[in-house]
Amino acid sequence: MTSSNLPGGSAPTGGAAFCAACGAAVSAGARFCHRCGTPVGQGLPLMRTPTASGGAASVLPWGVAFVALLALVAMVAGKNFGAAKGSAIDGSANSLPTQAVDGAGGAPFAQGGGGGGGAAPNIANLSPSERANRLYTRIMEYAEAGKVDSVAFFAPMAMASHELLTGPTTDERYHFGRIAEVTNAPAVAKAQADTILQGSPTNLLGLLLAARAARMTGDNTAAKAFDQRLLKALEPELANRLPDYDMHRAEIDRAATDARRPG
């Protein structure tokens, strides 16, 4: 039986293969490339079980996201293939596995813990929340290092992963907003901040994200108003000792310091 006769047109997974997008070796049985996340063969990753009437609709968002990602991969890889790893313009170099960002074994999206084996993980085994969180962590690491091409490289997949979350938590909405901030999408950052504040008007993550989104559009009056709301809510909210605040305490402290500055 040829690959075209297999269900869904997917390539056979009985043996090792190579990713059609980036050329990385793909382990036997893997549904996605461990380096760039491209689906193996012709199949598309399914986040939901399609029904007879809604199958195409459930696949479409991922299809659009990955088409955009593949176009970006081709552009960045062609322009920066020879760039030195560690430079600010190094999207192709930073698509490679890194232990600091990707965990044990250095493989992208590798699941934490365990030994240091280098076997490529199957990212289909990660939950939508785990996948979104790993992409957020990767993008924030690159943004802090000033690696703008690397941020752009992973942004489409990260945005799509957060859009597909069902009932996202406050922390996941904050992550989505921060990704939007570093990729210059103020409308998305504002939307996530507004949703957080609708549920909790004094939430510190929502307030600092709203202030940043306002500054991105040049609305300094609104930004200062959010700053004042943050300072007023700071001590009472921190006293609640929410886990989200513990995880992002450095960002909250920095936002408070900036809010206290005159002008």
Residue 163, token pair as written in the block: 């859009």
Residue 247 sits in a domain whose CATH number is 1.25.40
| Alpha-helix residue ranges (DSSP H) falling in 111-239 | 128-144, 148-163, 170-182, 186-199, 204-216, 220-238
Indicate whether 31 belongs to any domain: no
Indicate whether 138 belongs to any domain: yes
Say how many domains are in the chain.
Answer: 1
Q: What is the pLDDT of residue 36?
A: 72
Indicate whether 28 belongs to any domain: no
Spell out the residues 6+ positions from residue 134 whose beta carbon is closer than 8 angstroms to its own.
102, 108, 109, 126
Indicate whether 26 belongs to any domain: no
Q: What is the pLDDT of residue 12?
A: 39
Indicate whether 255 belongs to any domain: yes
Indicate whether 150 belongs to any domain: yes
Residue 38 contacts residue 66 (beta carbons within 8 Å) = yes
Say which residue the tokens 């890194």 belong to: 98
Residue 124, token pair as written in the block: 């289909």
Q: What residue numbers bound the domain in which 239 lies?
A: 59-260
Indicate whether 162 belongs to any domain: yes
Helices 220-238 and 204-216 cross at an angle (nearest 10°) of 170
pLDDT digits (tens, 9 = 90+) for 75-133: 544 444 444 444 444 444 444 445 444 444 444 444 443 334 444 445 667 899 999 99
Q: What is the pLDDT of residue 192?
A: 97
Q: What is the pLDDT of residue 116?
A: 41
Indicate whether 50 belongs to any domain: no
**Host H or E run for residue 26:** strand 25-26
